[in-house]
Amino acid sequence: MNTYWEAMSIQQLVRGFAPVLHFHPKEGEHCCFPSDAEEVFKRYHMDWTLFGEGKAPKTLDRSAPRYFGSWTDDNLTQIRYWIWYNYNDFPTGPLGIGKHLGDWEHIEVRLFQGLDPVCLLSNHDSARIAASSGTFPGFATEAAMLEDTHLHAWVALGSHAHYPSPTSQPRCYARLFCDKIADNGAMWHTEQNLKSLADTNFNAFKGRWGDQRSPWSPLNEHNNRWRNAPDLRPV
């Protein structure tokens, strides 16, 4: 068990545990890479009907912001890292399934006093767990691939769901329409340009980022502290 992080400040923790993202080699051909949510909010928050389908940018801009929020109490610190995409395009979904404006994805790190970190990776309407030890009841857990304390996560083509490994079992619908994950795409160390949600121009916005199929704001109750897993100590 390695809990040296317990002496770190929240600022050090946020930077120290920021994930490393691996994108599918064809992401730029199919959909889009992360971009600046504040620019989108500035342009469209007064009238979201003007926010239309736009599968850009087509290349990874490593200077794009990564947003974060955190919670801390006596025995647990949670950090949630948020990434904004302009569009969600599930590549094999029929009849428009999985296609919608805007796409907020996140990775959460839970740091329990006396235990190894547990990472929860957003994956459609649920989460995948990556950890070196410990899990929550009802969740399957995969080994965390770490670079120091930085979790490596693989981003599914178009849908941007997260996976702990390029060989993870992908999410499928009707056993036919599955996420696509692969190595050898663009890689992003997200510890640079981190920005607190509290310091953004959308820090009070709790609505949807687009139409009624678009995602809720990271600050909406839908994305509450226990969204990914219940308030339980891992076993």
Q: How far is CA 165 from CA 30, 124, 129, 139, in A?
A: 21, 16, 11, 16
Does the pLDDT of residue 1 top 60, yes or no? Answer: no
pLDDT for the residue 95: 72
**Contact yes or no for 81/67 (Cβ under 8 A):** yes
Host domain of residue 217? 4-223
Residue located via tokens 């490393």: 20
Q: What is the pLDDT of residues 93-134, one digit of tens each?
A: 777 778 999 999 999 999 999 899 999 999 998 999 999 988
pTM (predicted TM-score): 0.96
Summarize the confidence of residues 60-78 as an average pLDDT. 95
Check residue 23 and give its pLDDT: 98
Q: How far apart are CA 91 and CA 121, in angstroms?
A: 20
Under a CB-based contact definition with an 8 Å cutoff, are residues 90 and 100 in contact?
Answer: no
Tokens of 125: 């309407």
Q: What is the mean pLDDT of residues 14-26?
A: 97
Is 231 within the bounds of a domain? no
Over residues 127-186, the pLDDT tens digits come to 999 999 889 988 889 999 999 999 999 999 999 999 999 999 999 987 788 999 999 999
Q: What are the backbone dihedrals phi and psi of residue 141, each rounded to the nearest 5 degrees, phi first?
A: -125, 135
Exposed e or buried b per residue across 201-227, where buried means at least 16 C-beta atoms within 10 angstroms of its C-beta: ebeeeeebbbeeebbebbbbeebeeeb
Beta strands at 20-23 and 187-189: parallel, antiparallel or unpaired: antiparallel
Residues 6+ apart with CB under 8 A from 228: 108, 120, 122, 127
Q: Which two tokens stand for residue 84?
A: 């904004």
Helix or strand or coil: residue 151? strand
* Whether 31 contacts 55, CB under 8 Å: yes
Flag whether pLDDT at 48 surpasses 70: yes
Convert the pLDDT of each residue in 177-221 to its tens digit: 899 999 999 999 999 899 999 999 999 999 999 999 999 999 999
- Is pLDDT above 70 for 2? no
* Domain contains 172: yes
Q: In this structure, what DSSP letter does residue 62 have?
A: T
Number of domains in the chain: 1
Whether 235 is in a domain gets the answer: no
Does some domain include residue 38? yes
Residue 229: inside a domain, yes or no? no
**pLDDT > 70? residue 82:** yes
Q: Ramachandran region of residue 112, left (φ > 0), alpha (ψ -120 to 50) or beta?
A: beta
Cβ atoms of 146 and 129 closer than 8 Å: no
